[in-house]
Amino acid sequence: ANDNVESKTDVLIIGAGPSGLMAAYWMARCGINARIVDKRGTKVFTGQADGLRSRTLELFDSIGFQHRVHQEGHVAVEANFWVPDGKGNLIRQGPHCSSKVNESPFRNMLLNQGRIERFLLDSIQEHSDLQVERGVIAETFEYHNEVDDDPMGYPITVKLRTLSDEANPPGLHMAGPNQSAVASGVAPGNLLPDDWIELIAKSKAKETKTEIIKAKYLIGCDGAHSWTRKQVNIPLEGSTTDHIWGVIDVVPISNFPDIRRLGTVTHASGTILVIPRERNMVRLYVPVQTIEASAASEGRFDRSKITLEMIKGRVQAIFAPYTFDFQICDWWTAYQIGQRIAPTFSKGSRIFLAGDAVHTHSPKVGLGMNMSMQDGFNIGWKVALVAAGAAQASILGTYDAERHRLAEMLLDFDRHWSGLFTDGDGESKTRNMIKVVELFEDFAEGRNSFYGTSELVWKLENDEGPPAARHMIPGERFPPVKLRMQADGNLRWTTRLLESDGRFRVVILAGDVRTATQKDRLLVLTQHLSKSDGKQGAVLDRYAPIVGCFDCVIDVIAIHSAPWTEVEFFDFPEILRPFDPVQGWKYDKVWCDDACIWDRDCDGKGYERWGVDRLLGAMVVVRPDQYIGWAGELQEVDELTRYLDGILIQKTANEGL
């Protein structure tokens, strides 16, 4: 039937887990001709990852669905550590709360991976017709070196096979009181309506067929056993340890006082991690057994020997004298801890690997899904802009450099953290846990990204921000601040304002525009940026567009520091208030760092946080992923242009230069 149909696509994404969907979001946003396939018949509905760090939530805000996570998820800010008191009881140590918790608009949240996939799928659909092709497996791979250098060439050939439903059933399991029967399945009673729709659609029969697809770029997001990684001969290096863990998502029946709070419970034989979740659920990570060191080193672990009853028994023993039982189990599994990383995340300049495909570790650090999505986010916009003909292919080389270092830090964190669950006792364990959390906190929360110097990141030698914007450090995220819109007083966090739509943003920190000199500096700057000084090749008219999405790959916004009552929207230069005869003015380009009495988050201290002089201001270029690429003074248009020239594709002569 229908075999070996041939087709072409600019970008092929293999795997529609969190990293693949994140990469696909950018394809949808930038109008790229792309395909995304997954061998599973449906998306994930239960289980797997559940922890969301603040930086990931900031990215969700920039995409536009953070509010959905907030509505459904569970916030977990404080941690409690329960230890034996030596008299047969457990006592609470804590609560422990990070002193840096307010450095992001968002606190850590917990919500199952299936819902995050839902929100990503909805965002993709909102912006394009791109659909995940489910039940489609990548089977064979060829690379044609002869067209490697041709930007219009399709060096990648992949054979896809659509699996029939008999070969790939949707995996519905009924959950009843005898929970031992439920393993990694879907209990229909727990499904939310928008997920049900997918399962109903899935019930349509599919015929088996194959397709030969040629692609310019390939992003392998196909998980820990990555098929793509194997095709390009990149190994996963590392080891497994000798500990077997059980993980259960249950609605607990327990008199343990902190069953609804994040924390740990320690016992002589190990430590349980307690994670409160949506819909009255709790996730428990439970040490189940230690296997022979020799078996562990050979990677042997018989998962079928671990049962739900066994895990429940371990929880009851560790929780004693408190009770523990459940009637509802949403999901459970058992796993062996291992830390593995690929030596490189790319092959040549056309093939990239993201997420679990290139790094795996124990799930207890709660970073698997976060790191995977952040990988997909990083490579996604770069491939999208290159495929759109808007950015130079050389930027693709920054993916490996930016993400590999962070994956190494992830494994380091995991080694420190996981060891604490099996070694040490009571108080010293609590102290060590807090120490490790504090040591890795800036990395884990994504407050520091540590992106090094490249064409995308113009760093100063001392790794600091320039004198004009001391805390605007190239390679780091734009420090979030809540601002007021000049025209209507509405408030918005910069995480939302710097929307992930594919464009670079020149953020003009216009300073105190009440003074004539500052007003003049702003006017001169905007004339240089736009065509209005008659100069050919001005920044806003210099680069190729994102065809079908934006005429200009650069957006400009201004944030001034004067009290909003003392300047008016119409005082600002025209490029900051574009006019359309039908739609009227665009009001959302002029913002104000001014305190607001009805919202304490909007405290008018943005300039201080950014290390910027309130009178003189500064200028910053923010990459499409909200990381700072360049920062300097308002008059440094030539340097800013050189920065952008190294990244973007200039319009050809007949297009206007």
Nearest residue to 557 (alpha-carbon basis) of 611, 613, 651, 478: 478
Among 9, 179, 372, 378, binds ligand FAD (CB under 6 A): 372
Examine the residue annotation and report whether 325 is marked as an active-site residue of this protein. Answer: no
Residue number with CB closer to ligand FAD (124 or 469) = 124
Comparison of 16 and 244: residue with beta carbon closer to ligand FAD: 16
Site for ligand FAD (CB under 6 A): which residue of 12, 30, 36, 49? 49
Cβ proximity to ligand FAD: between 228 and 500 the closer is 228
Is the CB of 20 or the CB of 606 nearer to ligand FAD? 20
Question: Which residues ranging from 217 to 256 are in contact with ligand FAD (CB under 6 A)?
Answer: 221-223, 227, 247
Q: Which of 225, 237, 138, 220 is nearest to 399 (CA)?
A: 220
When the beta carbons of 110 and 387 are compared against ligand FAD, the nearer one is: 110
Q: Least distance (Å) from ligand FAD to the CB of residue 291?
A: 18
DSSP 3-state of 243: strand
Active site (annotated) includes residue 154: no
| Alpha-carbon span 243 to 235, nearest angstrom | 23
The first and second tokens of residue 102, run together, are: 């307010």
Asked whether position 215 contacts ligand FAD by CB under 6 A, the answer is no
Instruction: Please state the closest distance from residue 117 (CB atom) to ligand FAD, in A.
Output: 8
**DSSP result, 121-177:** HHHHHHH----EEETEEEEEEEE-GGGTT-TT---EEEEEEEPPTTTS---B----S
Please identify, among the stretches 8-16, 204-212, 313-321, 451-459, the one whose residues bind ligand FAD according to the rule CB under 6 A. 8-16
Query: What per-residue string of b and e applies to 496-522 under the rule 16 or more CB within 10 Å gives b?
Result: bbbbbbbbbbbbbbbbbbeeeebbebb
Q: How big is the CA angle at 624 (ends 618 and 626), to the nearest 5 degrees? A: 60
Looking at 277, 283, 503, 505, which residue is catalytic? 277
Binding-site residue total for ligand FAD (CB under 6 A)? 32
In the shown chain, the binding pattern of residues 274 to 313 toward ligand FAD, with x for contact by CB under 6 A and - for none, equals ----------------------------------------
Among 29, 35, 40, 53, binds ligand FAD (CB under 6 A): 40
DSSP state of 612: B
Asked if residue 2 lies in contact with residue 160, where contact means CB atoms within 8 angstroms, the answer is no
Is 581 part of the annotated catalytic residue set?
no
Q: Which is nearer to ligand FAD, 376 or 466 (CB)?
A: 376
The CA distance from 99 to 96, in Å, is 9
- The residue assigned the tokens 């991690």 is 273
Q: How far is the CB of 562 from ligand FAD (least distance, A)?
A: 45
3-state helix, strand, coil in the chain (%, to 5): 30, 30, 40
Q: Is 577 a catalytic residue?
A: no
Chain position carrying tokens 């998980």 = 223
In whole angstroms, how close is the CB of 292 to ligand FAD at the nearest point? 23
Cα 24 from Cα 130, distance rounded (Å):
8
Region 333-352 residues binding ligand FAD, contact defined as CB under 6 A: 333
Please identify which of the residues 10, 38, 50, 400 carries the catalytic annotation.
Answer: 50
Per DSSP, the residues of 431-488 read HHHHHHHHHHHHHHTTS-----SBTTB---TTSS--TTBTT--TTSBPPP-EEEETTT
- Supply the minimum distance, in Å, between the C-beta of residue 387 and ligand FAD: 20
The CB-of-4 to ligand FAD minimum distance in angstroms stands at: 17
Return the SS3 of 295. Answer: helix
Considering only 12, 79, 90, 137, the residue that binds ligand FAD (CB under 6 A) is 137
Report the residue from 369, 473, 567, 649 that binds ligand FAD according to the rule CB under 6 A: 369
HEC readout, 318-382: HHCCCCEEEEEEEEEEEEEEEEEECCCCEECCCEEECHHHCEECCHHHCCHHHHHHHHHHHHHHH
Task: Build a one-symbol-per-residue string for 9-38: x at contacts with ligand FAD by CB under 6 A, - elsewhere.
Answer: -----xxxxxxx----------------xx
Residues tagged active-site: 50, 277, 285, 363
Q: Which residues are near ligand FAD by CB under 6 A?
A: 14-20, 37-40, 48-51, 113, 137-138, 221-223, 227, 247, 333, 355-357, 363, 366, 368-369, 372
